Chains A and B, each alone.
Chain A
Amino acid sequence: DTGVSQDPRHKITKRGQNVTFRCDPISEHNRLYWYRQTLGQGPEFLTYFQNEAQLEKSRLLSDRFSAERPKGSFSTLEIQRTEQGDSAMYLCASSLALAGRTQETQYFGPGTRLLVL
C-alpha cells in the first residue's frame, strides 16, 4: 500500500496526558499537512510542512500542540496536557508540490481518532 498511513488509528487517553501521533506520507510527496476534524464538521487546517520546514501554522494550533517532520519524511503531532476539547479525528495529508505550482492535490490518510476522558 503506497497511500498515506497514520498510527495509531485510535487513541483513548486521560485528560492531562500527552499523546503523539505519526503520519507517513506517500513516499515521493514533499508536502505534509495536519488537519483536525470534529464530529459533524469538515476538516480544519492545523499546519503543513514542505520537506522538513514547517511553513504554516493555524491559530487553532495552541501552544500545547507541536508538529515535527525532522527528516522530511514522516511527521509527528504531539498534544501535551490533553483536554477533553482535543477529542477529534486528526487527519494527515500529503502532496507533491512542483516548482511554480502551489495548489496541488492532497491525499489523506485514514486518520487518528482521539478520545480524551
Chain B
Amino acid sequence: AQSVTQLGSHVSVSEGALVLLRCNYSSSVPPYLFWYVQYPNQGLQLLLKYTTGATLVKGINGFEAEFKKSETSFHLTKPSAHMSDAAEYFCAVIQENNDMRFGAGTRLTVKP
C-alpha cells in the first residue's frame, strides 16, 4: 500500500523567508504525488502534481516541489513566503485503485 508522511505538523516562517514543507512517500510502484492547500473552512485546492517526466514540478502561487526517488521525497518549497500562504498543506499519493491517501497535513504560519 502507498502512503505519505508529512514531517512537522506546524511550520512557522517569517514573511519573505523560504518555505519548506516535507513529504515522504512509500510506494511499491511509481507514484503519482500531489500537494493540496486548504484555507480555513474550505475544500482542497490543487497546488501541483507529479506524474511522470520532469522531477521538478512548478505549481500555482510560486510553489514548486521536487520528486526525489532516491530519497522517496516530494518536498514543497517557495522561495519567499507571503502572508496569504498561511494555510494547511497536504501531500497525497494516489493508489492503483484510485483512492488518494493524504498525509496528516502541515499548518503553515507566516509571521510579519
Contact = CB atoms under 8 A, between A and B. Distances in A.
Interface of A: 4, 6, 31, 33, 35, 40-45, 48, 55-56, 58, 91, 93, 97, 102-103, 105-111, 113
A57 to B, nearest CB: 10
A31 B98 CA distance: 10
Nearest to A10: B41
Given A103-B32, A103-B51, A105-B49, A43 B44 contact: yes
B92 A108 contact: no
Interface of B: 9, 32, 34, 36, 41-46, 49, 51, 90, 92, 94, 96-105
27 contacts: A33-B100, A40-B9, A41-B105, A42-B92, A42-B103, A42-B104, A42-B105, A43-B44, A43-B100, A43-B102, A56-B99, A58-B99, A91-B43, A91-B44, A93-B100, A102-B98, A103-B51, A103-B96, A105-B46, A106-B94, A106-B100, A108-B44, A108-B45, A108-B46, A110-B42, A110-B43, A111-B43
